[in-house]
Amino acid sequence: MQITDHKVVSFHYTLTNDAREVLDTTTGGEPLPYLHGEENIVPGLELALEGKSVGDKLKVSLDAADAYGELDPALIEVVSADLFEGIETLEAGMEFETESDDGEVEFVRITAIDGDNVTIDGNHPLAGQNLTFDVEITDIRDATEEELEHGHVHGDDEGCCGDEDCCS
């Protein structure tokens, strides 16, 4: 079976940056499953996996634009510490969920604090970086009707993923 749209694909990977630092890996753990064709992984990697089979190993080097995107300066903003009402201590690296003007959930990360000025960044932490994925395909199967309907892989029990927004 080859990787095509509507297949659930599981793979092991090691992710490195241009300095060859390991940023993430599934080595020693479970492979990562995803639903192919639903943009559940970075675009360049999904494209490179198209047509591959179980047992295939490949190295995929991606420019930032094909990975987590270019760094968007418009997503970096200095805000007042007062916006973090109820948070006793703010520190660089803390991540928060926020709602955009159009009601979408967004994630921001504190990158700097200068007095009452807090710099937040809505870019993915790996945005702007060229990345390399060393990949081994471990499994390919047909997606269930429920997975296709929801647009992502569900757990081993083949039941709903447990996300209230997904399964209600």
Q: Look up residue 34 and give its two tokens.
A: 């995803």
List the domains of the chain with CATH numbers.
7-68+127-157 (3.10.50.40), 73-121 (2.40.10.330)
Provide the pLDDT confidence category of residue 71 given band limits of 50, 70 and 90: very high
How confident is the model at residue 165, as a pLDDT?
A: 57
The model's pLDDT over 84-100, given as tens digits with 9 standing for 90+, comes to 988 989 999 999 998 88
Distance (Å, whole) CA 49 – CA 52:
6
How confident is the model at residue 132, as a pLDDT?
A: 98
How confident is the model at residue 166, as a pLDDT?
A: 57
Q: Look up residue 26 and give its two tokens.
A: 């599934």
What integer is the mean pLDDT of 34-42? 95
Q: Could you tell me what percent of the chain has a pLDDT over 90?
A: 82
Q: How do strand 7-17 and strand 32-35 relate by DSSP bridges?
A: antiparallel
How confident is the model at residue 156, as a pLDDT?
A: 60
The model's pLDDT over 57-70, given as tens digits with 9 standing for 90+, comes to 999 999 999 999 99
Question: What is the value of pTM for the model shown?
Answer: 0.80
How confident is the model at residue 158, as a pLDDT?
A: 44
What integer is the mean pLDDT of 16-25? 97
- Sequence-separated contacts (24+) of 78-83 with Cβ below 8 Å: 78/117, 78/118, 78/119, 78/120, 79/117, 79/118, 79/120, 80/116, 80/117, 80/118, 81/113, 81/115, 81/116, 81/117, 81/118, 82/116, 83/118
Q: Are 25 and 15 in contact (CB under 8 A)?
A: yes
The model's pLDDT over 119-152, given as tens digits with 9 standing for 90+, comes to 999 999 999 999 999 999 999 999 999 999 999 9
Provide the pLDDT confidence category of residue 168 given band limits of 50, 70 and 90: very low
